[in-house]
Amino acid sequence: MKFLIIGDVVGRPGRNTLFKYLEKRRQDYDFIIVNGENSAGGFGINVKIAKEMFERGADVITLGNHSWDKREIYSYINEQKNLIRPINFTKEAPGNGYTIVEKNGIKVAVINAQCKVFMPPIACPFLAVEEVLPKIKEETDIIVLDFHGEATSEKQAMGWNLTGRVSAVYGTHTHTQTADERILPGGTAYISDIGMTGGHDGILGMNRRESIQRFKDGMPTRYSVCEENLRINGIELEVNEKTGKAVSIKRVNMEYDEI
């Protein structure tokens, strides 16, 4: 089973890059996961964008610390089970932290969790994932985790904690693709961060000028989305559909004109 997993989509430039790629290549994949937490102007996701991502080929959309930046998503996330937010958000929060999707007769579980280190205060992601894993495994061994956070140490710890029990652990949030993709003992694919889809000549997908000025003067500023050097980042993942073990993991890093 071949997965396409796309790193944080930033604003309209990121969406346009993603949609161009899916238009040409979606038929090459059996299952597509997109992190959409920055897809609406760089902060959050709205209903229109989520629906368009699903229409263009996304099977599951994951989120992160910007999940609630657009209020209209509060009710929609309860209606759309394949739009998920971090599982270690408070239980009173809207939506769910994982979903199980049956496609072509095969069930795939996708879990979303958020790191604690250098992130807003949140419940333990390790305990939250451990709590639901036995229930998920009653239905499928094909399980992938979007682990959204800053620290590579925390992400590596989650990879080793789950090795042999899930198909893949991949990081999102830093918007910087790492080069440490590998298959851990036990058949779990791992990478610390799959990167960002959008303008790569800015700073984390936003224009340079505002970001640099904020570092210089420390004053609040309104960020705008970068449109320079558009790239798509993510991974291609192959999983044995009978065992749930990862067969291969490969980075995706393409310029807009190469798509």
204, 8 Cβ separation under 8 angstroms: no
Section 43-52 average pLDDT: 98
Amino acid letter, 35? N
Six-digit token string for 126: 């390790």
How sure is the predictor about 222, in pLDDT bands with cuts at 50, 70 and 90?
confident
Q: Which residue has the tokens 């309860």?
A: 78
C-alpha to C-alpha distance for 167 and 259, rounded to whole angstroms: 27
Contacts of 117 (CB under 8 A, 6+ apart): 149, 150, 151, 153, 154
The answer to whether the pTM exceeds 0.75 is yes
Rounded CA Rg of the chain: 17
125, 118 Cβ separation under 8 angstroms: no
In the chain, the percentage of residues whose pLDDT exceeds 90 is 97
- For position 160, what pLDDT does the model report? 98
Burial 178-199 (b: 16+ CB within 10 A, else e): beebebbeebbbbbbbbbbbbb
Q: Which helix (H) or strand (E) holds 174?
A: none
What residues are paired with 201 via a beta bridge?
Answer: none
Q: Which residue has the tokens 């089973």?
A: 1
How sure is the predictor about 23, in pLDDT bands with cuts at 50, 70 and 90?
very high
Instruction: Sheet containing 188-191: give its strands across.
Output: 98-103, 106-114, 143-148, 168-172, 188-191, 182-184
Number of H helices, E strands in the chain: 6, 14
- For position 220, what pLDDT does the model report? 86
Six-digit token string for 252: 């995706």
- For position 192, what pLDDT does the model report? 98
- DSSP string for 60-128: EEE--TTTTSSTTHHHHHHH-TTEE--TTS-TTSSS-SEEEEEETTEEEEEEEEE--TTSSS---HHHH
Six-digit token string for 94: 């809207």
Q: Across the chain, which distance is largest between two alpha carbons, in Å?
A: 56
| Residue numbers annotated as active site | 66
C-alpha to C-alpha distance for 38 and 36, rounded to whole angstroms: 6
How sure is the predictor about 239, in pLDDT bands with cuts at 50, 70 and 90?
very high
